[in-house]
Structure 1
Amino acid sequence: MPKIYDRTYFDRWYRQENLGIGSRQALMRKARLAISTAEYYLGRPIHNVLDIGCGEGVWQPVLKAERPKISYLGLDSSEYVVERFGRTRNIRLATFGQLGELRFDEGFDLIVCSDVLHYVRTPELKRGLRGIAEQLQGVAFLELFTADDALAGDTDGFIARSPRWYLSTFREAGLISCGSHCYLGPHLTAAVATLEVPMLW
């Protein structure tokens, strides 16, 4: 049966100390890393963030605490999430693959997709990545786990792909690794030094 991302799912994986995924402190470190990397390459403060597969939008208050004036948009396939947090955290209903067709009024300085891609089937993943690359003005924080990682947490539906597969697929879409789950889009790759993005050589 397909996974159901309802309140029971989020209660199990995000609100139980013995099973919970991550902590607020860890999330704050990730957010600061993503923000600082994007601002380093953009050369200015970030103005907006797109959070794909955002779940209950836990990145939203953390990002707002760091950059109160940013515009945040979350996308998730869970009807429960949109019903409960859609208005307060600006979350809309969409799947990862729909990014291949969805377009917004402006590009995004930071795109976040955390703990999602290793559950997405290949055709949908490739469609969505093209959309990310086209709408990315700064840096994408694409946190994921590969076949080489020791995965802790929800293994239901986990797709074990190699690191080489991900890097090659990202590069095909126009995304280049700059380290620590961060990727540059086509707008920035031509403006960086060679050793900042080793995949270029």
Structure 2
Amino acid sequence: MQSASEQWFDEAYYQRFYFDKKTRVVDAGHAERLGAFVCHYLQYVRVPVQRVLDVGCGIGLWREAITRHFPGASYQGVEYSDYLCERYGWQKGSVVDYASAQPFDLVICQGVLPYLSPTDLALALRNLARLCKGALYVEAVAREDYERDIIDEDLTDSRLFRHRAALYRRGLSEGFVELGGGVWLSRQADLPLFELECLGGR
């Protein structure tokens, strides 16, 4: 099984999933609420955020939230799509092997991982741990979400892999502690969290 092709993420893809009001998967209001939740939670647990990586940044919906909640923080958008790199000036790259000389305080990976084959997914989860020294936000639909019938398949790309949630959690737990709500804390971060703030403990 192969991961998604670069050719999938062309202008037609983003027109359908981001720009067309009838078929888009997220709007500005959703992005604002999600951004406020994640940023406020990180402020609450005292994660210092100066450098942010948004890998698979799409049209850059996270950039406004980062600017609002962490003024002065740098934002690095990375995209697999040639179309978006040309349109928005993002850096070309993939979560599977993107590298940085320095790790980031906050890494965002929204809607990217289900496009990866099991082999590439394992590589990506290990790479996220290398890229992050603070907090990670991950959003990825799992097979259980389909089984519980909470996915609107008319608005969801049918080409996604349906990985089990346990596969994501197992890979992420090597480098992170799960805090809930899609937020994970790097095991490199030395923060005094209560035991019940960490799913499954530290």
Q: 1:162 aligns with which of 161, 164, 185?
A: 164
Note if contact 1:35-1:110 (Cα within 8 Å) is conserved in structure 2: no
User: Is 1:83 aligned to residue 86 of structure 2?
Assistant: yes
Counterpart for residue 56 of structure 1: 59
The 10-residue stretch of structure 1 (23-32 or 155-164) with the greater mean CA deviation from structure 2: 155-164
Q: Point out the structure with the larger helix share.
A: 1
Tell me the matched-pair count. 192
Note if contact 2:96-2:121 (Cα within 8 Å) is conserved in structure 1: yes
Counterpart for residue 151 of structure 2: 151
User: Is 1:98 aligned to residue 97 of structure 2?
Assistant: yes
1:15-71 CA distances to partner (integer Å, 9 max, x unpaired)? 112111121111011111221222233354x21210011112222133223333220
Residue 199 of structure 1: SS of its match in structure 2? coil
1:86-122 CA distances to partner (integer Å, 9 max, x unpaired)? 1xxxx200112113xx123x32121101111111112
Q: Report the TM-score when normalising by structure 2.
A: 0.86
Note if contact 2:80-2:93 (Cα within 8 Å) is conserved in structure 1: yes
Tell me the CA shift for residue 147 of structure 1. Answer: 1.1
Counterpart of 1:34 in structure 2: which amino acid?
V
Note if contact 1:79-1:93 (Cα within 8 Å) is conserved in structure 2: yes
Counterpart for residue 179 of structure 1: 180
CA 1:189–1:199: 2 relative to 1, 3 Å: farther
Structure 2: distance between partners of 1:43 and 1:54: 21
Counterpart for residue 111 of structure 2: 115
Note if contact 1:119-1:157 (Cα within 8 Å) is conserved in structure 2: yes
Q: CA RMSD in A?
A: 2.0
Q: Any gaps of 5 or more consecutive residues in structure 1? A: none
Residue 58 of structure 2: SS of its match in structure 1? coil
